Amino acid sequence: MKIVIDARFTRTDHHDGISRYGASLIAAVSPLAEVTMLISDDRQLALLPDVPFVKISSPLSPRELFVAHAVNKLRPDVVFCPMQTMGSWGRRYGLILTLHDLIYYEHPTPPGFLPAPVRLLWRLYHKAYWPQRLLLNRADVVATISRTTAGLMARHRLTRRPVGIVGNAPQSGRPARDSGVPPEKLLVYMGSFMPYKNVETLLRGMAGLPDYTLHLLSRVTPQRRAELERLVPAGSRVVFHNGVTDDEYDDLLLRATALVTLSKAEGYGLPLVEAMSLGTPVVVSDTPIFREVGGNAASYVDADSAASFTEAVRALDDEETWRERSTAAVRQAAEFSWEHSARSLVQLAQEITATKRPTRRT
């Protein structure tokens, strides 16, 4: 089976969520099928696995409307796109489009790297569900990364197409925690600083944790950092890293007491799996998606309660409790792997080809 995977959403400097998701799937699917990836910038190759590729136009180009004419020449059985926006007019292949989450319907602020006209269209697009339906119904199958998002898609009747789960997962080959070394008084937060991420409540909770240091790892604008720094309680220790390497991230997780996040909306929660895979307990807000990802391993708290957050962290001061949570975290993280996601994707592709129905021109 020949599968073309759209890698044009890969970053050129460092991975974001979509970029890493696509690159990881390509690496995991390539041993199972004949894979060709689509790129739009040669610099993307530095963050992609060594598999055959074809360079075509950018997904943000007006030529995207007619991209299927270029892809048809590759004669794929199925094309997988890690987004839902890939052009499909005139396609002669099976198509799997991906919807990761519905966060931007509730929080419609677009990613800052998008051009201004695209950001405007983004906001307008998320004012109603019918544009999403038009995009998703062009596919043969729609993929998403969690049962929680699949349920929301069904609730809002976003597509008439079958929906499959092609989940996210931590990277393989990461270091292991030394079980004989106790954790340090470190708390790690990995995520953006958008308002719905609710970092403010984490900071308030640090008032009751003067012996802990909260490490905020992600890139942050100077203006947003200044806003948050004003909220740091007196005597509390908070470090803004403004971005870390993968090695630095793993090093902090391996030393930390817990990864923490009180986000009120997520499509998946990859930092949870990344932390748990290293044996780092997680303290998180009590939301459906975190329940799906964290299972019985996570500590769940009211997202608006700084006191509950403080109490959950304090519970991990007990060495036996921490070790129990650490063991449970590793066990829960084992439920997620790129190999499993790759098999799910290949199965969806096989189901499309097995129908042998005439390809619709869309």
Domain ranges of the chain: 2-169+338-355, 186-333
2-169+338-355 and 186-333 agree in CATH topology: yes
Global pTM value: 0.85
The answer to which of 16-30, 95-109, 110-124, 138-152 has the lowest mean pLDDT is 110-124
CA distance 182 to 321: 12
CA distance 280 to 275: 5
Residue at token pair 């012996």: 211
Are the C-beta atoms of residues 70 and 37 closer than 8 Å to each other? no
Topology given in CATH for the domain delimited by 186-333: Rossmann fold (3.40.50)
What is the DSSP code (8-state) at residue 125? H
Task: Name the average pLDDT for the chain.
Answer: 91
Average pLDDT over residues 182-209: 95
Specify the pLDDT at position 184.
Answer: 96
Residues 6+ apart with CB under 8 A from 99: 84, 132, 136, 142, 143, 144, 149, 153, 158
3-state SS assignment for residue 186 = strand
3-state SS assignment for residue 22 = helix
Specify the pLDDT at position 362.
Answer: 47
For residue 164, how many other CB atoms are within 10 A of its CB?
18
Specify the pLDDT at position 147.
Answer: 93
What are the Cα distances from residue 104, in Å, to 99, 110, 125, 129, 196?
Answer: 12, 8, 10, 11, 11
The answer to which of 3-7, 169-173, 182-186 has the lowest mean pLDDT is 169-173
Rounded to the nearest angstrom, the gap between the alpha carbon of residue 304 and the centroid of all alpha carbons in its chain is 23
**102: pLDDT strictly greater than 90:** no
CA distance 183 to 149: 34
Topology given in CATH for the domain delimited by 2-169+338-355: Rossmann fold (3.40.50)
292-330 confidence digits (pLDDT tens): 999 999 999 999 999 999 999 999 999 999 999 999 999
